[in-house]
């Protein structure tokens, strides 16, 4: 029996589950909602704190500040609580109510920023707080912190490799900070030398990765796929690791999230739906017949009960029963 010193050490070892009904082919979903605070961001939340402690920049009395679209904030909140740090999070007001409630429950201070400004607004506010007292506050900077892709290179990638005995052909991940696709791809391609096709998923309404790879001007836009599509190219996104990009619409992402719930019994968030849309497209191409496809499902549907994912799902009569 393994005993962990605190809850932050219990990250990882999430299962791979074959998708049997929403798509054909060999598509395996990595269920990151099985992490301790129920999303893929548990991995980076823990590792960024551990790394800051090791480097001596996070010490007793220091307070953490971080901009977040929700799941990284929840991950940092559970780690901060388990290790005794105060935490302030800045996030767009458009993020789901469930996320804000969870952050409060875990003891974090939440500062909401203007929704239309997206993550750029949250980042600017976090920097403003840190600049007000640099000796008191430390920002872990999930979009640029190398500890982010590092934990995926050390844990997520090896877990996938071990579970499939190295038989992986295509890897698919939605891109928020870029840490997941960068870290996993580095492990598969560089450490293991496997010729894996790495596929980034982004919103159709904010196709900045597609534009960046084509050398075009970036034209970010608002969208409803929480957790991906930050509207800029993060420092942690290694574009050399991205072989191709799939764009997914809001409606397609939400429709697939509902299908995953009804047909696979998987409580899938919106970005999970987007990632599986991409996986389905790849699986249906004739040249990919028989290939093993791994897709990251970042979080659970329970994070989105007040979001457009469940708009109109329940009538007042349903809720009154």
pLDDT along the chain (321 residues), means of 10: 89 98 98 96 98 96 90 94 96 84 94 90 95 96 96 99 99 98 99 98 99 98 92 97 99 98 97 99 98 98 81 65 58
The Cα–Cα gap between 254 and 270 comes to: 5
CB atoms within 10 A of CB 114: 13
Backbone angles phi, psi at 81, to 5 degrees: -65, -40
Class of domain 16-34+145-308 as given by CATH: alpha beta
180 labeled binding residue: yes
pTM summary value: 0.93
The pLDDT, as a whole number, for residue 218 is: 98
The label of the residue with tokens 């953490």 reads 64
Which residue, 290, 35, 78, 82, is CA-closest to 168? 290
Class of domain 42-139 as given by CATH: alpha beta
The pLDDT, as a whole number, for residue 318 is: 63
179 labeled binding residue: yes
Residue 165 region by backbone torsions, left for phi larger than 0, else alpha for psi between -120 and 50, else beta: left
The Cα–Cα gap between 219 and 279 comes to: 25
- Verify whether residue 299 is a known catalytic residue: no
The Cα–Cα gap between 62 and 77 comes to: 15
61 labeled binding residue: no
The pLDDT, as a whole number, for residue 159 is: 99
177 labeled binding residue: yes
The pLDDT, as a whole number, for residue 1 is: 57
Same fold for the domain at 16-34+145-308 and the one at 42-139? yes
- Verify whether residue 117 is a known catalytic residue: no
The Cα–Cα gap between 237 and 180 comes to: 9
35 labeled binding residue: no
> 202 - beta bridge partners?
247
The pLDDT, as a whole number, for residue 314 is: 59
Catalytic residue among 8, 30, 37, 41: 41
The pLDDT, as a whole number, for residue 120 is: 86
The pLDDT, as a whole number, for residue 35 is: 97
Q: What residue ranges do the domains of the chain occupy?
A: 16-34+145-308, 42-139
Catalytic residue among 8, 198, 271, 307: 271
The pLDDT, as a whole number, for residue 263 is: 99
């Amino acid at each position: 029996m393994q005993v962990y010193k605190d809850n932050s050490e219990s990250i990882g070892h999430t299962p791979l589950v074959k998708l049997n009904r929403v798509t054909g082919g060999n598509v395996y979903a990595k269920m990151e909602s099985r992490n301790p605070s129920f999303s893929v961001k548990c991995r980076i939340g823990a590792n960024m704190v551990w790394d800051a402690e090791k480097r001596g920049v996070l010490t007793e009395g220091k307070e953490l500040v971080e901009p977040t679209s929700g799941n990284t904030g929840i991950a940092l909140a559970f780690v901060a609580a388990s290790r005794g740090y105060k935490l302030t999070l800045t996030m767009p007001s458009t993020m789901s109510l469930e996320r804000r409630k969870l952050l409060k429950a875990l003891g974090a201070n939440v500062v909401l920023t203007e929704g239309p400004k997206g993550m750029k607004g949250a980042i600017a506010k976090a920097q403003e707080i840190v600049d007000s007292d640099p000796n008191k506050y430390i920002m872990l900077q999930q979009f640029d912190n190398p500890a982010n892709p590092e934990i995926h290179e050390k844990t997520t990638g090896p877990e996938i490799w071990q579970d499939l005995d190295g038989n992986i052909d295509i890897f698919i991940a939605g891109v928020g900070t870029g840490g997941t696709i960068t870290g996993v791809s580095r492990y598969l391609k560089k450490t293991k030398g496997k010729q894996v096709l790495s596929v980034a998923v982004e919103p159709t309404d904010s196709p900045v990765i597609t534009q960046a790879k084509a050398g075009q001007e970036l034209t970010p836009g608002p969208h409803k796929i929480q957790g991906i599509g930050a509207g800029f190219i993060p420092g942690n996104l290694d574009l050399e690791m991205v072989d191709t990009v799939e764009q997914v619409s809001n409606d397609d992402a939400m429709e697939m999230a509902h299908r995953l719930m009804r047909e696979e019994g998987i409580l899938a968030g919106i970005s999970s739906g987007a990632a599986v849309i991409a996986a389905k497209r790849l699986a249906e191409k004739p040249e990919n017949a028989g290939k093993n496809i791994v897709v990251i499902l970042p979080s659970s549907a329970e994070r989105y009960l007040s979001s457009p994912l469940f708009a109109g799902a329940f009538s007042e009569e349903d809720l009154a029963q």
